Amino acid sequence: MKKISYEINGTHVEVEVTDEFAALYEQMDEEEKRVNRKETRRHQSLETLVEGGFQIADPDSDIEETLIKQHDIDRLHRALAVLTDDQKWLVEQVFYYGRKQSEIAAELGIDPTSIRDRLRAIYKKVKKIFSK
């Protein structure tokens, strides 16, 4: 007599059975494992493939447009690197934080036209870098 263990509703149970039944049960268990392994190899989920490094091309993506945008972003970074710290701060306040020129002028205690003139100088500088 042999004991086999199996699980029913999350509970492990051991039952004493004949040697012949134990051999048959073991054979059925191995066959079930083999079939499950075969099915798993045949049917892989998209998530599993992506996690494993498989990449799928996006039909809606435009590689040329993406490269052009990246090139423009690189040029913009080079142009911004030429600006002084005060000019960078002004660009950040206006374009990143969306602050009004009059608001910035009041904070600095200067005339709003001075902010406009500073921005024009920055535009000129950036345009010059972009035209290279």
Expressed as residue numbers, the domain containing 7 is 2-51
The answer to whether 93 touches 99, Cβ cutoff 8 Å, is yes
Give the pLDDT confidence of 49-92 residue by residue, as tens digits.
Answer: 777 777 777 777 788 888 888 988 888 888 888 899 999 999 99
**pLDDT score, position 97:** 93
Residue 93 lies in a domain: yes
**φ, ψ (nearest 5 deg) of residue 129:** -65, -40
d(CA 69, CA 77): 12
**pLDDT score, position 4:** 84
**pLDDT score, position 72:** 85
Residues 44 and 68 in one domain: no
Residue 56 lies in a domain: no
Residue 96 lies in a domain: yes
Residue 57 lies in a domain: no
Residues 68 and 126 in one domain: yes
**pLDDT score, position 8:** 82
Cα pseudo-dihedral 21, 25, 26, 31, rounded to 10:
140
Residues 116 and 81 in one domain: yes
Q: What's the pTM? A: 0.49
Give the pLDDT confidence of 89-122 residue by residue, as tens digits.
Answer: 999 999 999 999 999 999 999 999 999 999 999 9
Residues 34 and 67 in one domain: no
Residues 125 and 70 in one domain: yes
Number of domains in the chain: 2
Residue 7 lies in a domain: yes
DSSP 95: I
Give the pLDDT confidence of 17-44 residue by residue, as tens digits.
Answer: 888 988 898 899 899 888 877 766 666 6
